Structure 1
């Protein structure tokens, strides 16, 4: 199988992003380019040159509709699937991935198990996130623990024997506590947390179920969206992207040191034969 380099990954992912945007238009779903991809959209009018993926925020109601879409029935989109813990064996993450199955994802992280996934776009659900940062932080900690438990449920391996021994002990204990098929039940736990600790009147929104950092946002930051050029296509970003990015990254228009201008993900992508 042919392994893709960073530029090839960017080129194929851009095609996926165009398809994703078309799909969202067809299904009347809202989304926003997110995180480093949002920096790229504003600072570089496309990919950050050394970045190798796309991040997207999606309001929960739109996210849930996307998860239910039957891609295999759509001739224009049947090469895609949405990977989640409930439908993809050994999938570790709390966000979903829009996956092109014409490619094969191969992890280089020894702690991660093999997963049937292709080249992907990360989809982060935007949920209500409490009405004070203190409450939001408590919820963040609950999900952080839940996600760590699930990660150890899947694997106890690490890159050193010293780390593997305690991880393997945790792995065995968590397997005994949760039993088989926890991947089929974890969504119920996630939904129970959201129902118990959040509601539509919350002051904040964010990604408590799987966030890159603790960052609740004022709801009005996501009220409007606008189209911008990303490489050679048009995508949606929040109208108040500047405020969001300054809140998250400070002076996001300044390039990081040369030593940090490298991809940070532990995987390779191959084109299936």
Structure 2
């Protein structure tokens, strides 16, 4: 469905409300994070949201996420927000977490049959170490690909355009998700026990420029970046990071490609509670 311009902007402001709460908790509990993906790109190129993109991504190491999850149990404003991952919601199948706005609805097109709790959200991307050495990186990359596809299978049985792959995904969707997450954690814990050069989202794909992940050193230093009149943390080496992920990131895409990448079939909004700046 097409979202009216005024609602589109309100969705962005609800996401900004969640980002302010996320940042508050991280700063209060000394948790390291960075803006990520299109959100970091938006901060650098637009000083805010990419105009056609209602999306917020943040990223942190899994060790930091454990601290964040504990902090949410103590400090999250549960009147407005809830944290979602596969341990907190048994129907949630993604390898990253989400902070969602209570009182809202956001149904992704093709996900109507899925039972996880919904609502306007921001994505909390979780990264783990990647083993060094060309052979181990190939095995690790193949494992990540398989886990990502198997977790996506419940959506893939509806969304994939080819009937025989929809059938394959339907069969794959019967694999218990706790088995998949247990395998993911086993590999992640093994890699995190080592000092490595690269780091990655285990359930996310990367472009060929950084096929196996991005340098772990990006996380060593951060700076404050402006986003919609607020200040949030971003990689100090954002130029290197964004060039790896997007290439010539300061160039706008052609007009025909300036469209939202999360199609929606139904939504419900609330008035965001934003007061002043966070710094």
TM range (shorter): 0.7 to 0.9
After TM superposition, which residue ranges in structure 1, 4 or more long, deviate above 6 angstroms? none
Q: Deviations over 1:39-68 (max 9, x none)?
A: 111011111111101111112211122233
Structure 1 unaligned spans of 5+: none
Residue 36 of structure 1 pairs with residue 35 of structure 2: no
Runs of 5+ in structure 2 lacking a partner? 272-279
- CA drift of 1:209 comes to 3.3
Give the 3-state SS of the residue equivalent to 1:156 in structure 2: helix
Question: 1:204 maps to which residue?
Answer: 198
Q: Counterparts of 1:1-273 in structure 2 under 5 Å?
A: 5-71=7-73, 74=75, 76-109=77-110, 113-132=114-133, 134-152=135-153, 156-158=157-159, 163=163, 166-168=165-167, 170-172=169-171, 175=174, 178=175, 182-197=176-191, 199-211=193-205, 213=207, 214-267=211-264, 268-271=266-269
Q: Counterparts of 2:149 and 2:181 in 1: how far apart (Å)? A: 15
Alpha-carbon shift at residue 82 of structure 1 (Å): 1.8
Q: 1:241 to 1:167 in 2, by over 3 A?
A: same
Q: Distance in 2 between matches of 1:58 and 1:171?
A: 32
Shift, 1:75, TM fit? 7.1
Q: How many equivalent residue pairs?
A: 264
**198-207 vs 209-218, which moves further:** 209-218
**Cα pair 1:113 1:155 within 8 Å, conserved:** no
Q: Are the aligned partners of 2:18 and 2:81 in contact in 1 as well (CA < 8 Å)? A: no
1:165-218: CA deviation from partner (whole Å, max 9, x where unpaired): 55335524652xx4xxx2344332111122345543111112123345435122
